[in-house]
Amino acid sequence: MLAIRLADQAGVQGKAAVPDLARAIVAALTLFAVTGWGLTRLLLPDGLRRYELLWVAPVGACATGLSMTVLGFAAVPYRINLGLVIAGGVVLAVVAWRRPRSALPPAAAPSAKDEAGAAAAQDPPADAAAHTEADRDLRTRAAVRRIAWPAWIALLLIAISLIPLLRAGFATVEGQGQDAHLAVGSAIFLQHNYPTGEDIALPVDRMPLVWRSKQAIYYNLAAVASLSGLEVYQTISALAAVLLALAAIGFYLFIRDVLRAPVWAAVVGMTLIGLDRMVLHTVMHPYFNQTWGFFGLGFACVLSWWAVKERTRGGIALLIAFLAMITLAYPLALPIPLIPLAIVLWPELKRVRPKGIWKGKRSLRWMIPVGFLFLASLNVPPIKGVSEKFSTAMSVVLNPSHSLQNWGGDLKGYFIEPQFIAINTFAGLALMIVPLVYAIHLCLRDLDRPMRRGLTALLAFTIAFALWFRLREYGYYFHFKLLAFVGPVALALAAAGAAKVRPARTGIIGVAVLLTMAMSAAAHEIGSTFDELPKNVLQLQDIDAALPPGQSVRLDIDPQEQNWVAFMMHGQPLCSQKPLLGTNYPHVQTSRKAQFILVRRDAPRPADAVGGPVQQIETFLLYRMRADVPGVDRCSQAMVETVSKDDFKGP
């Protein structure tokens, strides 16, 4: 009913977009299930096995992206790369399936029926096999029942985040985030090229320098597009919706396995987070890099605590995988899971003595190679990209004399703080602030001391830096990013704390009010979000295809609209008299002279044109340029890069 009501409010009247969106969603979940099932079965700590099925797709998302990145830099062609990763997932699944059953924990405490079965362990082999099969069926049914609620809410969140496309009636890119054209183009680039290569025949002719750490997430996008048989632009928003659902599942696990809250509180928590206005804003616009960073946050928090509580090699390996994915996708998000982890581990780190590491000159046998490997790794493009992002960010964040103007991104101002905790207005925050703080207090009060201190430190860090960025000119980019990550953590704590309120009905009433506010805020966000790549822009591909190769086109289009226009016309040399400047985006060449001129239908006929339109579609007209226009034709398929190695900066 929730999704239907939001869809009705947004004006959805048909289901024309459903088949393509469903193909992309099924392709993503199938790929991640294949690559994640074996790893989850082999590595997940025993204490987390009751929700084993919920870990499979998230682990697969990390495994696919990281594996394809390694193979990509090893110069394995894209299709072989994808095939090897899928085949590796199948092999690991077979190995995991053949793993001895005794190595897996029971799904729940044994019932009287189970104990009777155990007493019959001396039966003949046929009976023993029958009991084993019955026990397996019981485990399977129990596991499915256990994940039913979070899986159902996850599917609803996918549908809700795709409402703008359901309203548009076809699979395309939703939102207004201009990064989307680079995201789609980067995935297309990796489908055809070495990660650090160049190919001017493609819409994006190289991986953007400011994104040189992010190949893993674009290999995932490319893989989902390939398996679904759709264009990458038809896939990106559907994959972002899947990531939203997986992120919500991560917080469900965080609330259940770390905060130790009941099922209803975890379901409420993941619903609040999925409906949080800034979470939806991030997913729908789409801030694709940030969405991937957010996707791993809940899982990293769970594994961080479990790495201390039940330290296993498998758990540590999974934690490293999720932290690696967060770091590569969005480096500035890494401190958020690391702050609680560092405080939780601090008592143990203090007990580590240098003499335990240094054992005389023989220690140099491993220290020197490790040192060389560390120094060499700093030149690996993804790792170099992470270090550059951190160094440039810290140089401006911690120094108030440095301007944050270059870190404004596509934002023009601050989002108000209530919208980061599922509330739309300050009036709503005034009503709910005391209940929220009280619920968070109840949750933190009953946690183990290390985790309580870690989460308290994270909240204190967030409040301090949110105020710091509010006071800084152009601080709205960092303010948005920080609160967009930590706001959902606060909602998770509040949902868990609501289960501890007495009398119980008071807590239930509180979360019901907050859910109502969250739904209202989500409706506002959905109602103001539309498709940024409409059919009239997609039709430019017809003009591009109709022109012989090498026909230069001048774009007499508003600079703010040129990104997707140039993307769709990439088969021809392009230029503009007024290209898009002042951003980190590559732009077309500057030139007056060309062979053709592209204008919007509602614009005046260009002064440099001759005759009538030679091509026309719903929104655009193509004119031939007069031969006597002075100047040199500087149009090119190569885009002008605005960021070089010498001035690496910005979001």
Output the pLDDT for position 351: 55
Shared-domain flag, residues 196 and 280: yes
In a domain, 460, yes or no: yes
Output the six-digit token pair for 55: 């870990």
> What was the pLDDT predicted at 348?
63
Average pLDDT on 540-550 reads 94
CA distances from 273 to 256, 266, 485 (A): 15, 11, 11
Task: Write the DSSP assignment of 211-266 as a string of letters.
Answer: GTT-HHHHHHHHHHHHHHTS-HHHHHHHHHHHHHHHHHHHHHHHHHHTS---HHHH
Number of domains making up the chain: 2
With respect to residue 648, please indicate whether it lies within any of the assigned structural domains: no
The angle that helices 297-309 and 335-350 make with each other, rounded to 10 degrees, is 10
**Is residue 318 assigned to a domain?**
yes
- What lies within 8 Å, CB to CB, of 455 at 6+ separation is 340, 444, 447, 489, 493
User: Tens of pLDDT along 457-499?
Assistant: 999 999 999 999 999 888 999 999 999 999 999 999 999 999 9
What pLDDT does residue 13 have?
64
Q: DSSP assignment, residue 115?
A: H
- Separation of alpha carbons 460 and 479, rounded Å: 14
Question: Worst-scoring range by mean pLDDT, 111-120, 303-312, 559-568?
Answer: 111-120
**Residues 167, 272 within the same domain:** yes
Residues 168, 228, 159: CA angle, nearest 5 degrees: 40
What's the one-letter identity of residue 150? P
- Shared-domain flag, residues 336 and 419: yes
Q: How confident is the model at residue 364 (pLDDT cuts 50, 70, 90)?
A: low
Task: Note whether 37 and 9 are within 8 A (CB).
Answer: no
Q: What is the mean pLDDT of residues 354-378?
A: 63
- Tokens coding 85: 């990763």
Q: What is the four-CA torsion angle of 603, 605, 607, 611, rounded to 10 degrees? A: 160
Tokens of 621: 């007209």
394-418 residue pLDDT tens = 778 888 888 887 777 778 889 999 9
Res. 648: pLDDT tops 50: no
DSSP for residue 209: G
Of the residues 503, 527, 551, the one at which a domain ends? 527
Q: Is residue 128 part of a domain?
A: no
- Cα separation, 551 vs 578, whole angstroms: 19
pLDDT at 108 over 50: no
Q: Report strand pairing: 620-625 vs 609-616.
A: antiparallel
- Reported as half-sphere exposure (CB side, CA atoms, 13 A), residue 186 has a value of 27
- Tell me the two tokens of residue 165: 């496309």
Quick one: 506 and 581 in the same domain?
no
Same domain, 25 and 41: yes
Output DSSP code: residue 123: S
Out of 290-299, 360-369, 481-490, which region has the weakest mean confidence (pLDDT)?
Answer: 360-369
Task: Give the structural domain span for 168.
Answer: 2-100+144-350+410-527
pLDDT of residue 1: 59
Of the residues 507, 527, 547, the one at which a domain ends:
527
Per DSSP, the three-state class of 413 is coil
Calpha distance 326→294 (Å, rounded) = 7
- Give the count of beta carbons closer than 10 Å to the beta carbon of residue 230: 18
Q: Are residues 209 and 332 in the same domain?
A: yes
pLDDT, tens digit, 9 for 90 and up, residues 133-145: 666 667 777 778 8
Q: Which residues contact 108 (CB under 8 A, 6 or more apart)?
A: 50, 142
- Burial of 551 per CB tally in 10 Å (0-12, 13-18, 19+): middle
pLDDT band for position 121 (cuts 50, 70, 90): very low
Provide the pLDDT for residue 109: 40
Alpha helices in 312-363 (DSSP H): 313-329, 335-350
CA distance 353 to 95: 39
Q: How many CB atoms lie within 10 A of CB 508?
A: 16
Please tell me whether residues 497 and 559 are part of one structural domain: no
Identify whether residues 472 and 561 lie together within a single domain: no
pLDDT at 320 over 50: yes
Residues 204 and 264 in one domain: yes
Same-domain pairing of 518 and 540: no
CB under 8 A, 24+ apart: contacts of 342-350: 342/454, 343/450, 343/453, 343/454, 343/457, 344/304, 344/305, 344/308, 344/450, 344/451, 344/453, 344/454, 345/308, 347/450, 348/308
Residue 505 pLDDT more than 90?
A: yes
Same-domain pairing of 491 and 567: no
**14 inside domain:** yes
Residues 430 and 513 reside in one and the same domain: yes
Give residue for tokens 């790369």: 81
Amino acid at 212: R
Calpha distance 415→479 (Å, rounded): 8
Question: Is residue 290 domain-resident?
Answer: yes
- Given 510, 527, 544, which residue is the final one in a domain? 527
Cβ 470 vs Cβ 479: under 8 Å: yes
Within a domain: residue 106?
Answer: no
| CB 486, CB 462: distance < 8 Å | yes
N-to-C CA span, the chain: 39
Cα separation values, 545 from 467, 500, 550, 552, 569, Å: 52, 63, 11, 13, 9
Torsions phi, psi of 555, nearest 5?
Answer: -95, 105
Torsion of Cα atoms, 391 then 394 then 400 then 403, to 10°: 60
What DSSP string describes 79-90? HHHHHHHHHHHH
**How sure is the predictor about 177, in pLDDT bands with cuts at 50, 70 and 90?**
confident
The two three-digit tokens of residue 526, written as one number: 């959905």
User: How is residue 209 written in tokens?
Assistant: 């320098």
What does DSSP assign to residue 640? B
Identity at 181, one-letter amino acid code: H
Asked if the model's pLDDT at residue 545 lies above 90, the reply is yes
**What is the pLDDT of the chain when averaged over all its residues?**
88
Model pLDDT for residues 570-603, shown as the tens digit of each residue: 999 999 999 999 888 999 999 999 999 999 999 9
Model pLDDT, residue 410: 75
CB 622 within 8 A of CB 579: no
Q: How far apart are CA 243 and CA 249, in angstroms?
A: 10
Helix pair 232-257, 288-295: axis angle to 10 deg: 30
Q: Is residue 320 part of a domain?
A: yes
CA–CA gap between residue 417 and residue 415 (Å, rounded): 6
Which pLDDT score, from 0 to 100, does residue 394 have? 79
22-31, 181-190, 375-384: range with lowest mean pLDDT: 375-384
